[in-house]
Structure 1
Amino acid sequence: MTQSQSASPKQQLFEHLAVIARALGHSARLELLDYLAQGERSVEELVRLSGLSVANTSKHLQQLKAAGLVNARRDGKYVRYSLGDERA
């Protein structure tokens, strides 16, 4: 059994909040969230806006996605990102 499975609901909540806090703990990720708050964007659009490399942008987006802060959807050969929504 993993630590999350044996943890109380309160501990699980704190663990999830820590994941979110780590995801928000980098200025580049905050910048990407700001761009996504303006609307859905592809990695390429986010690269152009932020000045980050494709690899770095993708890495940051994966961390935001793991924290549930962004959603990703495939659109042909592109992946488009938007702010996360638990209702979806």
Structure 2
Amino acid sequence: MICPACNIKMEPLVAGIYQCPQCKKIMKQEAEKVEIDKQKKFEEDGFQEGEYFHKSVSLNKQYEICEKGIIIQKTENRMFAVLICH
């Protein structure tokens, strides 16, 4: 996929979502069927304790208390994760 503003090839973040390395614009893939890896199934063993997320990411510790979570994808600049908070 090519960035409409910069005309540079965009990098994939997750399946169907791309980011331009120059202007950091994020776009979703259009009208094409996105194939999801069926091999990536989350197991209960994949959960990490909430303390890891409180130390590693910027959660508002006054309002968000994380019990556990799963990291979906982690890069140098971004982390996509699903958190169970209360």
**TM-score clears 0.5:** no
* Bigger helix fraction: 1
TM-score using structure 2 length: 0.23
Q: Whose RCO is larger (CA < 8 A, sep 6+)?
A: 1
